[in-house]
C-alpha cells in the first residue's frame, strides 16, 4: 500500500476527523513526501559527531556506538561523551580488547550501565562471530548483545543503506501527527512502523534509506517538536493532517503513564583519614550491575528508616563507628522507579581495614572508577566530592 492509500486509510479510521476533511490533503501528492523530506534534509541536516560527511557512507562502529549512547540520553549530553569514548576506543577491536571495568569507567555519567556491559559484550561478539565487521542484515544485527529491533534497523539503514526505517519516539510523533493516528501509544506502535515502512516504500529513494531515516529523526527533533512544532517551516506542512486540524500537540495519543512507586534506602559513607572512601562492587547482574557503590541497604517502598543502621558496614580494626545522619535525602530517578536515599557518614583512622567484599577508593580514583551518577550524588551530599562533580 502506498503512502497516499495509507493516509486515506488513516482518515477513514479516524473518528475525530470531520467528513469534510476525509480526503487526502492537499497541494503535494503524498507519494512525494519522502522526496520532499530528503530535499529538506540536504539543506538542514544536523551536524552530529557520529554522522558521516554528506555523500559518504557512515562507519557502522560510530553508528552503533551513538545509537547505544542515545538510548534514554539526549543528543546534547551524548555529544561530548561520544567524542571522549571514541578517542579512547577508536575502533571495535580496541573496545573488544579493553577490560570491562575500564569500559564501565569510560561510560560513567551516562547512566543505564547495562548498556555499557552489552556494548562490551557486543564488541567481543562481533570480533568472534563476524571477524570484527558488523553484519549488515537487521536480523543478524538484532542477534547481537544489546542490539534491539530499533538499533538493528538504525545500523542496517544508516551504515549499510538497507531498506528499513528505525522508529523512535521522535519518528512516532511525526508520523502520528502527519496521519493523525487515533490509537494510543503503545498500542499504535505497529501502525506507526507500518506507516514509516510505506513512506520508504513509495518513492525513488533506493540509494538513500540511511539519509531518509536520519531526515525523519531530524524532523522530529528540530521541527516537529513535542511542544510548539514549527509547522510553518516543515517540509510536510501541506500534507499534515494534524496541522490541518490545528491539534498537532494532541498527537501522539498516549495512555496514562504508570510510574513505579518511590523506593527508599540508606547509604553509608565511611571516610578514612587520608580521604579514601569505603566502596564495594555491585552484583554483575541487575540494576547498575558491576558498578562501584558505597555500602547501603536494600531499596524498597517500605524502607524503615529507624532500622537503617542494621545495614551499616562493620569496619575491621574499629570498635563501633559514630554514624551521623545527614540532613535531607539524595533523589534519583531510574527508568522504572524514583529513589530516595538517606545518607549516614562516619570517619575512621588509617589503621582500619575494609570488610570482606569492600575496599577503600581514593578521591582521585573516583573519576576513573565505574561510579554511577547516583553514587556521585551520594558522595557529593556527604562532602567527599564537590557539588560541581554532579
Ligand atoms: S506540519 Fe507540524 S505537526 Fe505536521 S509533521 Fe510538520 S511539524 Fe509536525
Q: Is 178 in the pocket of ligand 1 (CB under 6 A)?
A: yes
Instruction: Indicate which residue's Cα is closest to atom 2 of ligand 1.
Output: 231
The crossing angle, in degrees rounded to 10, of helices 60-70 and 114-130 is 160
Provide the terminal-to-terminal Cα distance of the chain, rounded to the nearest Å: 51
The answer to whether residue 12 scores a pLDDT higher than 80 is no
CATH class assigned to 263-389: alpha beta
* Percent of the chain whose pLDDT exceeds 70: 88
User: Does residue 180 have its Cβ closer than 6 Å to ligand 1?
Assistant: no
Among the residue ranges 24-33, 77-86, 184-193, 314-323, the one predicted with the least confidence is 24-33
- 77 close to 334: Cβ distance less than 8 angstroms: no
For the domain 3-254, what is the CATH code?
1.10.340.30
Going from the Cα of 228 to the center of ligand 1, the distance in angstroms, rounded, reads 10
How many residues are present in the chain? 390
Of residues 316 and 165, more confidently modeled? 165
Q: Per-residue pLDDT averaged across 239-251, rounded?
A: 95
Looking at residue 8, what is its pLDDT? Answer: 45
pLDDT of residue 130 exceeding 90, the answer is yes
Residue 26 pLDDT = 43
Question: Does residue 239 have its Cβ closer than 6 Å to ligand 1?
Answer: no
Q: Is the peptide bond before 26 cis (omega within 30 degrees of 0)?
A: yes
Q: What is the DSSP letter of 221?
A: I
112 φψ region: left (φ > 0), alpha (ψ -120 to 50), beta (else): left
Name the grid cell of 101. Answer: 571495568
Position in ligand 1 atom list of the atom nearest CA 229: 7
The per-residue pLDDT for 129 is 95
Angle at 323 between CA 322 and CA 329, to 5 degrees: 165
Taking only the tens place, the pLDDT of each residue in 63-83 is: 999 999 998 778 888 899 999
Which residues are paired to 338 by β-bridges?
333
* Residues 198, 210: Cα–Cα separation, whole Å: 15
Give me the chain's average pLDDT, please: 85
Would you please indicate which residues are annotated as catalytic (active-site) residues?
67
**What does the pLDDT read at residue 18?**
34
What local confidence, expressed as pLDDT, does residue 197 receive?
Answer: 85
Domains of the chain by residue range: 3-254, 263-389
Q: Which three cell numbers stand for residue 78?
A: 551524548
C-alpha cell at 166: 528505525
Predicted TM-score (pTM) of this structure: 0.66
pLDDT above 60 for 27: no
Cα separations in angstroms, 250 against 13, 202, 207, 253:
17, 27, 35, 6
pLDDT at 332 over 70: yes
C-alpha span between 100 and 85 (Å, rounded): 14
pLDDT tier at 290, thresholds 50, 70, 90: confident
* For range 85-94, the mean pLDDT: 96
Amino acid at each position: 500500500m502506498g503512502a497516499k492509500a495509507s493516509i486515506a486509510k488513516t482518515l477513514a479510521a479516524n473518528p475525530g476527523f470531520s467528513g469534510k476533511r476525509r480526503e487526502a490533503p492537499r497541494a503535494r501528492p503524498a507519494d512525494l513526501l519522502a522526496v520532499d523530506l530528503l530535499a529538506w534534509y540536504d539543506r538542514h541536516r544536523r551536524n552530529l559527531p557520529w554522522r558521516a560527511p554528506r555523500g559518504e557512507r557512515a562507519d557502522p562502529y560510530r553508528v552503533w556506538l551513538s545509537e547505544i549512547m542515545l538510548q534514554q540520553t539526549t543528543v546534547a549530553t551524548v555529544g561530548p561523551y561520544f567524542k571522549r569514548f571514541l578517542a579512547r576506543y577508536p575502533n571495535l577491536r580496541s573496545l573488544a580488547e579493553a577490560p570491562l571495568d575500564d569500559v564501565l569507567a569510560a561510560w560513567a555519567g551516562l547512566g543505564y550501565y547495562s548498556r555499557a556491559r552489552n556494548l562490551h559484550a557486543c564488541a567481543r561478539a562481533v570480533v568472534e562471530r563476524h571477524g570484527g565487521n558488523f553484519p549488515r542484515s537487521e536480523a543478524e544485527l538484532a542477534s547481537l548483545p544489546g542490539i534491539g529491533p530499533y538499533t538493528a534497523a538504525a545500523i542496517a539503514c544508516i551504515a549499510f543503506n538497507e531498506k528499513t526505517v528505525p522508529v523512535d519516539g521522535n519518528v512516532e510523533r511525526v508520523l502520528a501527527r502527519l496521519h493523525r493516528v487515533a490509537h494510543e501509544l503503545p498500542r499504535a506502535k505497529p501502525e506507526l512502523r507500518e506507516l514509516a515502512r510505506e513512506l520508504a516504500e513509495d518513492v525513488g529513494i533506493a540509494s538513500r534509506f540511511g539519509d531518509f531515516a536520519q531526515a525523519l529523526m531530524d524532523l522530529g527533533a528540530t521541527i516537529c517538536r513535542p511542544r510548539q512544532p514549527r509547522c510553518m517551516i516543515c517540509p510536510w506542512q501541506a500534507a499534515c493532517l494534524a496541522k490541518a486540524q490545528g491539534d498537532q500537540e494532541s498527537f501522539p495519543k498516549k495512555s496514562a503513564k504508570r510510574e513505579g512507586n518511590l523506593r527508599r534506602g540508606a547509604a553509608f559513607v565511611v571516610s578514612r583519614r587520608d580521604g579514601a572512601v569505603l566502596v564495594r562492587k555491585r552484583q554483575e547482574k541487575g540494576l547498575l550491575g558491576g558498578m562501584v557503590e558505597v555500602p547501603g541497604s536494600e531499596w524498597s517502598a517500605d524502607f524503615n528508616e529507624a532500622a537503617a543502621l542494621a545495614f551499616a558496614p562493620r569496619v575491621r580494626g574499629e570498635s563501633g563507628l559514630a554514624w551521623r545522619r545527614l540532613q535531607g535525602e539524595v533523589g534519583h530517578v531510574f527508568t522504572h522507579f524514583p529513589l530516595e536515599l538517606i545518607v549516614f557518614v562516619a570517619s575512621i583512622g588509617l589503621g582500619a581495614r575494609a570488610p570482606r567484599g569492600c575496599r577503600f577508593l581514593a578521591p582521585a580514583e573516583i573519576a576513573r572508577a565505574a561510579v554511577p551518577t547516583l553514587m556521585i550524588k551520594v558522595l557529593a551530599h556527604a562532602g567527599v566530592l564537590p557539588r560541581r562533580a554532579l
